[in-house]
Amino acid sequence: MKRKTVRANFIFISLRDNALSIIFVLFAICLVVFSKDNLTASKEGLTLWMTSVVPALLPFFIACELLSHTNIIDYLGAKLNKIMKPIFNVPGEGAFPLIMGIISGYPVGAKIVTNFRKNGICTKEEGERLLTFTNNSGPLFIIGTVGISLFGNSTIGILLFITHLLACLTVGVVFRFWKRNSKTKYSSSAKEYTKKIPPSFNSLGSILQNSIMSSVSTVVMIGGFVMLFSVIISILNNTGIFSVLSTFVSPILSLVHIPSSFANGILSGIVELTNGVSIISNIPMKAISINIIICAFLLGFGGISVLLQVLSITSSSDISIKPYIIGKLLQGCFAALYTYLLIQNFTFLNFDI
């Protein structure tokens, strides 16, 4: 009996230690087995990246890099510290990633916060608090893509953007208590940062070059994630994994009066945001408020694809990803709640037939 127990424990430990290796091998096999569908998904992912992600994000990345060479961050820190500190328990400079993250979308906020930590503008705990509420989906995607393109209604897009913004600010207030009694020191480079020399025409060439190179590198990384997760969703559909998971999710959805037809879209959105909201918005429902509320949750959460993008950015610093994961789950829930409350209390926001 002891031998069987020891052997079982050995197999369990072996599987646990080699879990990622097994997943990677299975992924490679699925790439070959479902090569035709995977090729189509890969092309669609790259097309989405080239036509939507690059035009939308690259200019903002370059702008953020250029602004980091000016004194705008120090200016915001001095002017907004009396607002950001008592409300969110972060320095005034935190207004910069908050504003840029709201304007531009995922994962601009995470990139700026990581740079803050590297440059010693914030402590580790402040960086973790900032990360929970400054990395958001932008108005171009929510209003333009989700509202106008998918739902065919700009008012829905505006509603989703407002609740998305309210939810992120709520998460920021909640996480002001995150490790409030634990403090790490600022980086030694903080003093060097505050003595930054304003850019001149003589240094403009090198500043532009460095800003563009850094921004292109980040956008290419995002493109890899978009393509990869398009293929992963294709594999999950072809292997029937989504169908199996849907059977387990459907009873849970029924408890909150959500039809089982939404299961696949929710699962897709949890894996990759764009695919998920596209599926959800196209499910025919007379009570379209259900579609809108679910999309609000997915937009707040962001999906595993965005989570891994953020992890790839923050891994170069000591900022923990755990509070970010909790924060995005809370943001999704708050966004769905606020959307529900607004639809219920304002008749012009209720699009049910």
Q: What is the 3-state secondary structure (H, E, C) of 57-109?
A: HHHHHHHHHHHCCCCHHHHHHHHHHHHHHHHHCCCHHHHHHHHHHHHHCCCHH
Model confidence at 256: pLDDT above 90: no
pLDDT higher than threshold 70 for residue 325: yes
Cα distances (angstroms) measured from residue 156 to each of 279, 282, 342: 16, 14, 11
Q: What is the pLDDT of residue 79?
A: 82
Per the CB < 8 A criterion, the answer to whether 157 and 72 are in contact is no
Residues 6+ apart with CB under 8 A from 308: 225
The answer on pLDDT for 192 being more than 60 is: no
pLDDT higher than threshold 80 for residue 289:
yes
- What's the rounded Cα separation, in Å, for the pair 69 and 206? 11
Alpha-helical (H) ranges within the chain are 2-17, 19-33, 35-48, 54-67, 72-88, 95-104, 108-118, 124-134, 139, 154-174, 190-194, 204-238, 241-255, 263-271, 273-281, 289-301, 303-314, 322-345
Cα torsion 264, 150, 277, 306: sign: positive
* Cα gap 186→189, rounded to integer Å: 8
Q: Does the pLDDT value for residue 90 go beyond 60?
A: yes
What pLDDT is recorded for position 198?
64
Please give the average per-residue pLDDT across 101-106, as a whole number: 82
Neighbours of 238 (CB within 10 A): 16
Q: Where on the phi/psi map is residue 8: left (φ > 0), alpha (ψ -120 to 50), or beta?
A: alpha
Across the chain, what does the average pLDDT equal? 84
Judge whether residue 65 has pLDDT over 60: yes
pLDDT at residue 201 above 70? no
Tokens of 199: 């850019």
CA-based torsion, 78, 82, 83, 89: positive or negative: positive
Report whether pLDDT(11) > 60: no
Q: What is the pTM of this model?
A: 0.84
Distances (CA, A) of 312 to 21, 127, 264, 317: 19, 16, 27, 10
Query: Cα separation of 154 and 157, whole Å?
Result: 5
Give the residue-averaged pLDDT of 268-288: 87
Could you give the CA distance from residue 302 to residue 135 in angstroms, rounded to a whole number? Answer: 9
Measure the CA dihedral 299/302/303/304, to 10°. 180
| Amino acid 194: pLDDT | 47
